[in-house]
Each structure stands twice: as C-alpha cells, then as structure tokens.
Chains A and B, each alone.
Chain A
C-alpha cells in the first residue's frame, strides 16, 4: 500500500522548476498590472511584486529512453515524451496563467475542464498531460508476458480468459476511428474490469472509472516505429511493453475505492 501511494497518490502538483529544493518564488513574468480577483489581490499584497504560481509538470518515464528498444525506439520516446508531452505541459501552463482554474490537482483539473461533455479549451492539454504520465508508467522494459495472481484472477473472472481480454483489447484499438486511447478500466459501479476506448484526449477519469492500463493510439505514438501497422503495435504493447507490476499496484489502490469482494484463496 505504501508503495502504491508513492507511485500514485501524490498529486501532480509541481512548482515551475525542476529543482528538488523548496519551491522558489518566481516573479510575475507578465510585467503589466493584472485584473485580479479580491482573493488574489489579498494574496498578492502579501507577496510584494512576485507570486508563487503552481504549475503542472510532466512525469519522466521510469526508465531510460532507450530502455524499450526494440519495441519502442528511443527516437519515438524522444519525440513523444520530449516534444509532444512537453507541448501539452507548456500549453496548459500558458492557458492557466490568467485563468480562474487554480489550485486543482491534475486529476481534478481533468474532470473540471471536461465540464460533463462540453470540454473547456484547457481540457485537451490537461487530459493529454495526465494520459501520457499514465502511459509511460503503464510500460516497462522487459514487460508484457502474463499477469499473475490477483490480476489474472480478476481478468479471468471478468473476461473469461486472458486470451479473450487480449482479443477485446486489440479489437477496441483497431476499431478506433481517428485519434484516441484504449484502456483497461475497473468500472466502479459494476465492480469489474472492462476494455474502453476513447477519442482524442478523453480518459476514463471523466466517467468516474478507474484506469488500469492506457495505450496511446494517436498516430504519433507508433508511426515512427510501425508506420501504419496498428495491429503490430498493439500486439507488441501487450506482449512486450505493458507493465503488469504497475497494473498490480494500480489494482491495490483501486481496491481502496471499489469493493471487489474476498479473494479466492485456494484451500490446500
């Protein structure tokens, strides 16, 4: 449980620098008087000309950029993480500079900006930022193979067999029109696993489900390595990239929110 909290429960709220030390106060980059709300005026007065702003940052993949070779090339990770993911961060921070959306954790921000199906302009950046953080952690070097223990039990219970889950996952990925994501989610109401596909930046958080695995089906995720062969990309993800360790940790955390009942412990 402690390990799970280390990985996931810390909100993605960082100050605008990569330093490990205490947050440093940055001066207002826009050197003109802003229209501030009463709360902000009061807060500003206590800080002279500078204010502490909470920006969002992206997570670094928990492995070196060349660690997923040959299944996902270093070049793909350099461009995908280095360029696209960073663009989402920069775009979001820029949008939030003069915005009333303030003080949310990233997950909260995603749900708030989704606005129940009428997304605000910040939604795309916020959601893609969260999605990609989730994606890097869903993979590991020397991944794939099979789940085991509780995860395998749950998959077999909800899909029938591991093969059926894989088929459903691949089918969802291939039948997605346009850009989107494919997820293995734990449905909070039905209390079972399900495969879900979403368009563009939408993720299961907006529907209140708990995502367990996320796979980026935007073309930028696979085009450099697999060109148009989406099936090969998805199969490679399932066979060689997906991190069942992370899945297990996410399940441990999810069980704090969803009662999955007693595990079936085989009696000797």
Chain B
C-alpha cells in the first residue's frame, strides 16, 4: 500500500511582541496526496521503483519546498518586504507547480485492470475525434511535442474554456498549464522530466 506521508505543520500562533497589534496569518500547508493505486500497479508500463521515487521523493520534495517557500512568503508579507516577496515567486512557481502538476498526473494514470490505457469514450472521445481526427493522431501529436521539448517540462491535453477547443500544449520545467493561457484546463498531463522514465530507459543497442 502506498504510504501516506502527512506533512502538516503545527498551526499554533507564534507569541507576538507585547503590544503588537499585527495579526499573524496562518495558512494551510499542503501535503502529499495518496496514490489511488499501488506503486507496482502500473507495471510493465511504469515500474514500481520509478513510481515510488517519483511519488515519495520528487513529489514530496516539491510539497516540502512549496510549504517552506510559502512560509517565507508569509513572513516577507508580514514584514512588508517587497523584494523578498518577488524573489520567492520563482520558488513558489516551481515547487507549487510541481505539486499541482504531479497531483494531476497521479489521477491521470490508472492500472490496466481499472481502465488504464482504454480509448476515451463519450464526449471526450468525440471531442478528440473532432479536434485531432483520431486518437492515434492525438497520440502522435503529443509524442512529437514531448520529444521536441528541450530540457524538462510537461505535455498537456488542454481544454480551452472560452473557445471550447482541445489542444496540445507544452510547458517548461514545472510551469502549470495556466501559464500558457488563463482559460486552459488540463485534461491530461505527461511528465517528460527525465526522472519520470529514466530508470526504464532502453539499452543503447
């Protein structure tokens, strides 16, 4: 069973200086979500070792660093420190984005016996056919875009809420999909960071 690792900071008020009237904000910390399946449940497509490392090490690191960055942000805001507030944005975007993206990623995957890998039916299937021609075309397009991505990033199947269209987008590093367009909703995300697949890399020959 996937271990649930809770990372809740104790939310007690820090004793403020005598006479201070500034209220101290308390924010909700984020925690690592549990996987809805075992680490080994996605074999042979993704092996258990990758899933465990990806979830327990990488995603956990994003969550921890996200919480730390938010705490520092809280302190900077309380002090009115503008430059620290801005400086922390990249850490928040990176770690927060990592947490959001991976949370979506775990939900996107499912073991074969729970429907993983089956073609989409219903409105999604029709939309895929309308926008891409066929599922194979969509897969090909996502493959091409994923392979062409330089460095680390994500490939998304995105739904544009305004225009009601599907599209394939890529984002760099851990940028969430909204950085590509405020009305984009991620339907499917593929992690093309090397840590997501490197341990299963094929031999050279």
What is A's interface to B at a CB cutoff of 8 Å? Answer: 78-79, 82-83, 124, 177-180, 199-201, 218-220, 223-224, 227-228
Q: Which residues of A contact B195 (CB under 8 A)?
A: 219, 223, 228
Q: Are A178 and B204 in contact (CB under 8 A)?
A: no
A218 to B61, CA, bound (A): 17
Q: Is the CB of A179 within 8 A of B152?
A: yes
Shortest CB–CB separation between residue A93 and chain B, in angstroms? 18
Binding site for A on B (CB under 8 A): 53, 57-58, 61, 90, 94, 150-153, 172-174, 193-195, 198-199, 201, 204
B152 touches A79 (CB 8 A): no
Given contacts A78-B204, A79-B204, A177-B94, contact A224 B152 (CB under 8 A): no
Q: Kindly list chain A residues whose C-beta atoms are within 8 Å of the C-beta of B174.
A: 177-178
- Distance in angstroms from B91 CB to nearest chain A CB is 8
B53 CB, nearest partner CB in chain A, Å:
6
A219, B193: Cβ atoms closer than 8 Å: yes
Chain A residues closer than 8 Å to B194, beta-carbon distance: 179, 218-220, 223
A219 adjacent to B204 (CB under 8 Å): no
- The 8 Å CB contact of B53, one of A124, A177, A227, is A227
A78, A83, A223: which contacts B199 (Cβ < 8 A)?
A223
Say which residue of A78, A177, A224, A228 sits within 8 Å of B58 (CB atoms). A228
* Chain A residues within an 8 Å CB radius of B94: 177-178
- Partner of A79 from B90, B150, B201 at Cβ < 8 Å: B201
Task: Tell me the complex Cα distance, A144–B57, Å.
Answer: 28
Q: Which of chain A's residues have a CB closer than 8 A to the CB of B152? A: 178-179, 219
Contacts of A179 in B (CB 8 A): 151-152, 194
How distant is A117 from chain B, measured CB to nearest CB, in Å?
15
A-B contact pairs, 9 of them (CB 8 A): A82-B204, A124-B150, A219-B198, A220-B194, A223-B194, A224-B198, A227-B53, A228-B58, A228-B61
Q: Are B204 and A201 in contact (CB under 8 A)?
A: no
- A6 to chain B minimum Cβ distance, whole angstroms, is 30
- Given A220-B198, A227-B53, does the pair A200, B151 have CB atoms closer than 8 Å? yes
Q: Which residue of B lies closest to A128 (CB)?
A: B150
Given A82-B204, A178-B172, 5 extra CB contacts under 8 A: A83-B204, A178-B173, A201-B150, A223-B198, A227-B199
How far does the alpha carbon of A212 sit from the alpha carbon of B134 in the complex, in Å? Answer: 51
| Closest A residue to B91 using CB positions | A177
Residue on B with the closest CB to A125? B150
* CB proximity of A95 to chain B, nearest CB, Å: 12
Output the least CB separation between A233 and chain B (Å).
Answer: 13
Once A79-B201, A79-B204, A219-B194 are accepted as A-B contacts, the answer to whether A228 and B53 lie under 8 Å apart by CB is yes
Q: Give CA–CA (A201, B193) in the complex, Å.
A: 15
Chain A residues with CB under 8 Å of B199's CB are 223-224, 227
Give A234 Cβ to nearest chain B Cβ, in Å. Answer: 16
